[in-house]
């Protein structure tokens, strides 16, 4: 792969991880404000999964047997 394409793919992977973290935070905050327990639970789960994927991606580790998800 060319360097430019490789950087673009890595940037796309990071963006997906960031989306999961942001969605988890939004659901967590909405759950607390609205008093809906299931939103808090789903928000915490998404937040934890997003952080784990972010850390694994920063280490250059393949997740689920695949280096890139596209």
Assigned domain for 38 exists: yes
* Region 10-28 average pLDDT: 73
- Domain with 22, as residue range(s), is 17-58
pLDDT tens-digit series, residues 27-55: 999 999 999 999 999 999 999 988 888 78
Residue 5 lies in a domain: no
- Evaluate whether residue 67 is within a structural domain: no
The rounded Cα 49 to chain-centroid distance in angstroms is 6
Residues 6+ apart with CB under 8 A from 50: 17, 18, 19, 20, 21, 23, 24
Residue 66 domain flag: no
pTM of the model: 0.64
């Amino acid at each position: 792969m060319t360097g430019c394409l490789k950087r673009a793919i890595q940037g796309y992977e990071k963006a997906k991880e960031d989306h999961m973290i942001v969605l988890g935070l939004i659901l967590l905050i909405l759950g607390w404000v609205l008093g809906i327990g299931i939103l808090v639970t789903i928000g915490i789960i998404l937040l934890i999964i997003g952080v784990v994927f972010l850390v694994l991606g920063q280490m250059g580790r393949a997740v689920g047997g695949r280096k890139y998800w596209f």
